């Protein structure tokens, strides 16, 4: 399995899942030219270099690992409630994948996910969120920073139904580093185990799986983007 994306240098990642062997056509990746990610790419490129503001901390490839190593120290919270335009569900994050857990909590506390969308839906497979075709999302990514996370696939977690996992960037990425701004949720019964070993499960839906299933059943266009936008209204870290 591989995920495709728009050029990471633009700060915008629109990712698709490519099936192993004889997977159906709907599980093949979109090219950047076919996706609405081009809108985000142009928006990110148009942002001024000083957008982050003088003295503001920005994550980079050089500092992200050290930052999340320190951020996860003493981090007791392990649940995030996602409220969407179709209802809410709660994710419990795994403690033994600390970089991915702390990344998700950090982005939630930075309000990154607020006003993004579930931008990709593959029926009976996954829903994928954390992107949007607007300048606001491009600006938030630019302000937080551009970075990838190391994979962490050997902690015993599988891609069972309800698993929350992180897609990986494909471009110039032989080590399957994870793209931090997006996530996908498995809806397959009992799971999508062909993803095991390639992507990092970092949590599971413990409440509101009926909402995830409802999102998975919405009508989509040929690019697997829902015909009616499904917004993430807020992501709240629960104490």
Q: pLDDT tens digits, residue range 116-140?
A: 999 999 999 999 999 998 899 999 9
* pLDDT beyond 50 at 153: yes
Residue partners of 227: CB distance under 8 A and separation at least 6: 218, 219, 220, 221
User: For the chain, percent helix, then strand, then coil, each to nearest 5?
Assistant: 25, 25, 45
- Rounded distance, CA 152 to CA 19, Å? 21
Asked whether the whole model's pTM tops 0.85, one would answer no
Instruction: Please give the pLDDT value at position 173.
Output: 59
- Rounded distance, CA 45 to CA 116, Å? 19
Q: How would CATH label the architecture of 60-238? A: Beta Barrel (2.40)
Averaged pLDDT, 218-230: 95
Provide the Cα torsion 2, 186, 235, 74; round to 10°.
Answer: -80
Instruction: Please give the pLDDT value at position 174.
Output: 58
Averaged pLDDT, 128-153: 92
Question: Which residue has 């142009």 as its token pair?
Answer: 42
CA-nearest of 227, 157, 225, 231 to 197 is 157
Over the stretch 183-222, which tens digit does the pLDDT of each residue have? 999 999 999 999 999 899 999 999 999 999 999 999 999 9
CA-nearest of 123, 132, 141, 144 to 192 is 123
* pLDDT beyond 60 at 97: yes
Instruction: Please give the pLDDT value at position 108.
Output: 98
* pLDDT beyond 80 at 171: no
More confidently predicted of 39 and 111: 111
Instruction: Please give the pLDDT value at position 18.
Output: 34
């Amino acid at each position: 399995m591989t995920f495709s994306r728009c050029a990471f240098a633009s700060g915008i990642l629109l990712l698709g899942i490519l099936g192993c062997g004889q997977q159906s056509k709907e599980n093949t990746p979109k090219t950047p030219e076919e996706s609405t990610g081009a809108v985000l790419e142009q928006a990110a490129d148009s942002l001024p270099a000083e957008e982050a503001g003088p003295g503001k901390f920005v994550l980079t490839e050089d500092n992200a690992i050290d930052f999340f190593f320190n951020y996860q120290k003493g981090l007791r919270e392990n649940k995030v409630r996602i409220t969407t335009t179709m209802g809410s569900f709660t994710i419990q994050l795994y403690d033994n994948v600390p970089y991915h857990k702390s990344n998700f909590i950090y982005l939630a506390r930075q309000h990154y996910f607020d006003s993004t969308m579930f931008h990709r839906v593959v029926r009976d497979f996954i829903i994928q969120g954390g992107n949007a075709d607007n300048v606001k999302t491009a600006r938030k990514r630019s302000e937080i920073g551009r970075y990838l996370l190391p994979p962490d696939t050997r902690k015993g977690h599988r891609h069972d139904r309800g698993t929350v996992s992180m897609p990986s960037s494909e471009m110039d990425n032989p080590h399957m580093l994870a793209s931090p701004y997006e996530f996908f949720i498995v809806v397959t019964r009992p799971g999508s185990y062909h993803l095991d070993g390639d992507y990092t499960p970092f949590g599971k839906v413990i409440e509101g799986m009926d909402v995830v299933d409802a999102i998975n059943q919405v009508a989509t266009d040929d690019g697997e983007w829902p015909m009616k936008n499904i917004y993430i209204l807020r992501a709240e870290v629960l104490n």
